[in-house]
Amino acid sequence: MLKKKINKYKRSLITYEFEQFYINKRLDTSINSLEINDYYTSHLDDFVLNDYVVKCMYMKVPKKSKILKEVKKKLPYQK
């Protein structure tokens, strides 16, 4: 019984090692920029943004704060 389990486990390890070797040998993982661009242009519908993307920053600074002017200067978007 134990010997059967050991042999089964041994075969399982050999199979796993062979699969890993085969995958690493056959699988090409390098993708160049041209392939990326080709994929993108042929699948444009997959890259449509369906929702709005908003980036914001909120700061609450008292109106009488000494640093208010400086904070306003550093804001990227001002009215």
Instruction: Report the 3 state secondary structure along the chain.
Output: CHHHHHHHHHHHHHHHHHHHHHHHHHCCCCCCHHHHHHHHHHCHHHHCCCCCCCCCCCCCCCCCCCCHHHHHHHCCCCC
Residue 27 belongs to domain spanning = 1-44
Residue 76 within a domain = no
Residue 57 within a domain = no
State pLDDT tens for residues 11-60: 999 999 999 999 888 887 788 999 999 999 999 999 998 888 888 878 88
pLDDT of residue 78: 62
Residue 76 has pLDDT above 80, yes or no: no
pLDDT average, residue stretch 62-68:
88
Residue 40 in contact with residue 48, Cβ under 8 Å? no
Residue 25 within a domain = yes
Q: How many structural domains does the chain have?
A: 1
Residue 29 within a domain = yes
Residue 72 in contact with residue 78, Cβ under 8 Å? yes
Residue 54 within a domain = no
Q: Whole-prediction pTM value?
A: 0.36
